[in-house]
Amino acid sequence: MRSLIRTIWNVLLHTFHKRVTIQYPEEKPYLAPRTRGRIILSRDPDGGERCVACYLCAVVCPVDCIALQATEDENERRYPEFFRINFSRCIFCGYCEDACPTYAIQLTPDFEMGEYNRQNLVYEKEDLLIDGPGKYPGYNYWRVCGEQIGGKDKGEAENEAPPVDLRSLLP
Amino acid sequence: MTSPHPIAAIAGILIVVLSLSAMLIWVERRLLALWQDRYGPNRVGPFGLLQVVADMIKIFTKEDWIPPFADKVVFVIAPMIVMVTVLLSFAVVPFAPGIIVADLNIALLFFLGMSSLGVYSIVLAGWASDSKYSLLGGLRAAAQMISYEVFMSLSLMGVVLLAGSFSLTAIVEAQKRLWFVVPQFLGFTLFLIAGVAEARRLPFDLPEAEAELVAGFHSEYSGMKFGMFFVGEYLGLILISSMITVLFFGGWLGPWLPPIVWFAIKMFAFICFFILLRASLPRLRFDQLMSWGWKAMLPLALVNLLLTGAVVLAWK
């Protein structure tokens, strides 16, 4: 009986407690920088696309919402011809970000993507590409990888030793 | 104060009580939210007040479906009984001097009789639905309300002894010097508990028990028929709060403010208390409910009656 009265009293005291509800449209919640929200494609510090169209994101995607087509430019640099994310299927799991070898695909703290028309949730490459490097400033895949492209020969990447001459007998 | 025309009194009380019971939907949701550190409905209109209108539009436009296996006539009549019995009980409640529909000299018996008749609504609803959850809810309601009825009326006999009358107006007048809650505190506690059980509110809402019986006796109801049970429950809540006010807290009596305002304040305080009970207490198990009623409450009510009778006899 005493516990009952104490329960009632304690609940009554909640009249003076702060309410936990966040009044959403007027009051925005704090979103951590690593919140998994809207997906973007970032660029390297030089302004080139980071995506090398390796298809890893499309393969790892559990709901198959990523579609892309690889192609090469005149410098033999791979890039996606089109890159399409269907956000009406996306579950924001972040696997694509984990799978990406070049930090190109990233999830951002933005979730306000409501649409009346389902078609509008299909984002094309120009909708996804942003102008900056996103969460990884200073990283440029093509400058650190050993891949040979136009304008950058073997051994010219950062921290890369010059190529070994296989035909020489000298040590 | 001059008495208003009976028709005007009936219409006035009907309108006020019915709109009050509709408003209680909003009040209850806001208060429950307050005690759970939330906001509750606050979007539609100022403070979410128009939520009531939205809810009413919703419930009126919903499909009013009668299951093909149900006993149609009884199924339709059952929700009406609860409304009728509760609304009839309001006829004897003295809201203020003159604001009363029928000042019966057996008003208290009338109230008890009407609240007993209200059980039929629940039992018949559970029976006519022809579904096991509804039937279980109806059975529980029958057992619960009959056992709680017994000590509900017995707990009020102390008040009758002190006031020397069954008329509610006379009972209020008899509290001019001292509210009956002081000499009849035990009776008040018993009536409070019985009232919660009678209004089928938590922690005594076993006939509904949404955790075990879907929605209990009104599982199969939809649309406005469900709405009638809903409004009936809130009407019962208002009725029990008014009866507590009248019987134990001096009804309209109070200084400075007009009588009707005093009545409304006291009544509203008890409505809030009932909602607080819902916010804080878990539902009883059914065997606990029955043994609580028969083994604890009934003997206490008898002791209360005995002591009050002895004191009154010695005093006179």
User: With helix as H, strand as E and coil as C, how does chain A read?
Assistant: CHHHHHHHHHHHHHHHCCCCCCCCCCCCCCCCCCCCCCEEECECCCCCECCCCCCHHHHHCCCCCEEEEEEECCCCCEEEEEEEEECCCCCCCCHHHHHCCCCCEEECCCCCCCCCCHHHHEECHHHHECCCCCCCCCCCHHHHCCCCECCECCCCCCCCCCCCCCCCCCC
Per the structure, the complete domain to which residue B129 belongs is given by 67-315
Give how far B273 is from chain A: nearest CA, Å.
9
Q: Quick check: is B135 in a domain?
A: yes
Hey, is the C-beta of B186 within 8 angstroms of any chain A C-beta? no
Helix axes B223-248, B185-198, angle to 10 degrees: 170
Q: Check B34 against A12: CB less than 8 A apart.
A: no
Q: Quick check: is B207 in a domain?
A: yes
pTM of the model: 0.78
Domains of chain A: 30-144 (3.30.70.3270)
Hey, is the C-beta of A23 within 8 angstroms of any chain B C-beta? yes
Read off the tokens for A143: 């400058």
- Give ipTM to 2 decimals: 0.75
Hey, is the C-beta of A8 within 8 angstroms of any chain B C-beta? yes
Q: Quick check: is B274 in a domain?
A: yes
Does B293 have pLDDT greater than 80? yes
Q: Quick check: is B2 in a domain?
A: no
Q: Which of A8, A18, A20 faces B277 most closely, judged by CB atoms?
A: A8
Does B219 have pLDDT greater than 90? no
Torsion sign (Cα): B19, B25, B27, B28: positive
pLDDT-above-70 percentage for chain A: 99
The CA radius of gyration of chain A, in Å to the nearest whole number, is 25
- Work out the mean pLDDT of chain B and round it to a whole number: 85
Nearest CA in chain B to A24: B43
Strands A105-107, A39-41: parallel, antiparallel or unpaired by DSSP? antiparallel
**B169-179 burial: b if 16+ Cβ within 10 Å, else e:** bbbbbbbeeeb
Hey, is the C-beta of B43 within 8 angstroms of any chain A C-beta? no
Q: Quick check: is B58 in a domain?
A: no
Q: Which of A45, A118, A109 is nearest to A86 (CA)?
A: A118
CA angle A122, A123, A125 (to 5 degrees): 140
Give how far A1 is from chain B: nearest CA, Å.
12
Of B24-33, B73-82, B84-93, B97-106, least confident by mean pLDDT is: B97-106
Chain A residues closer than 8 Å to B38 by CB: 19-21
Chain B residues closer than 8 Å to A18 by CB: 37
Q: Check A20 against B276: CB less than 8 A apart.
A: no
Other beta carbons less than 10 A from residue A112's beta carbon: 9
Of A141-145, B98-102, B197-201, least confident by mean pLDDT is: B98-102
Q: What amino acid occupies position A10?
A: N
Q: Quick check: is B121 in a domain?
A: yes
Q: What pLDDT is recorded for position A1?
A: 78
The answer to whether B238 and B17 have CB atoms below 8 angstroms apart is: yes
Q: List all residues 6 or more positions away from A7 whose beta carbon is below 8 Å from its beta carbon.
A: B280, B281
Residue B3 DSSP class: P
Number of domains in chain B: 1
Give how far B192 is from chain A: nearest CA, Å.
14
Q: Which of B38, B39, B280 faces A8 most closely, judged by CB atoms?
A: B280
Chain A residues closer than 8 Å to B34 by CB: 14-15, 19
Read off the tokens for B56: 């009413």
The most confident of A38-47, B143-152, B210-219, by mean pLDDT: A38-47
Q: Quick check: is B99 in a domain?
A: yes
Does B303 have pLDDT greater than 70? yes
Q: Greatest CA separation found in chain B?
A: 63
Q: Which of B35, B39, B281 faces A14 most closely, judged by CB atoms?
A: B35
